[in-house]
Amino acid sequence: MAKMRQRWRAITYKPKAEAVRDGLCRQTIRKGEFAVGDIQPFHGWEGLPYRSPWSWRREFVLIEVVPILAAPTYFAIGGAPRRYDWRGSYADELARLDYIDPPTGAALRDVLMGFHGRGKHELSILRW
């Protein structure tokens, strides 16, 4: 199957941006339709997002796409009925892989709700 090239997406979360650029961070959580094998290009900004030039660009091939339902009080992985608490070791590991600062599930929840608004959101964990 041919690889689909996704649109360029910005990494605006500062703790993650340099890690993605340098190849240290290999995960992000995004809204949209993705598939294993897609080529996902990312970029950073020199200054203010959307008001400055791109500072770097990199393309990655997605090796894993995992659906995640993120809500203010819980999250669920892969459409499974089990709900996980944001204050558990599983959430903390997702936060660590996502270069969230501090690397806790509660901080990851706050970042996701900050980007997408409070409520339930169907997202994807992307790994490359």
Kindly report the average pLDDT of the chain as a whole number.
94
Taking residues 103-114, what's their average pLDDT?
97
Tokens 């995004």 label which residue? 30
Question: What is the dihedral angle through the alpha carbons of 41, 46, 49, 51, rounded to the nearest 10 degrees?
Answer: -120
Q: How confident is the model at residue 80 (pLDDT cuts 50, 70, 90)?
A: confident
Q: On the CB side of 77, how many CA atoms lie within 13 Å of its CA? A: 11
- What does DSSP say about strands 27-30 and 9-10: parallel, antiparallel, or unpaired? unpaired
The C-alpha R_g of the chain, in whole angstroms, comes to 14
CA 128 distance to own-chain centroid: 11
pLDDT over 90, % of the chain = 89
List the domain boundaries for the chain. Answer: 9-127
82, two tokens: 């089990």
28, two tokens: 């992000």
Q: Are 126 and 97 in contact (CB under 8 A)?
A: no
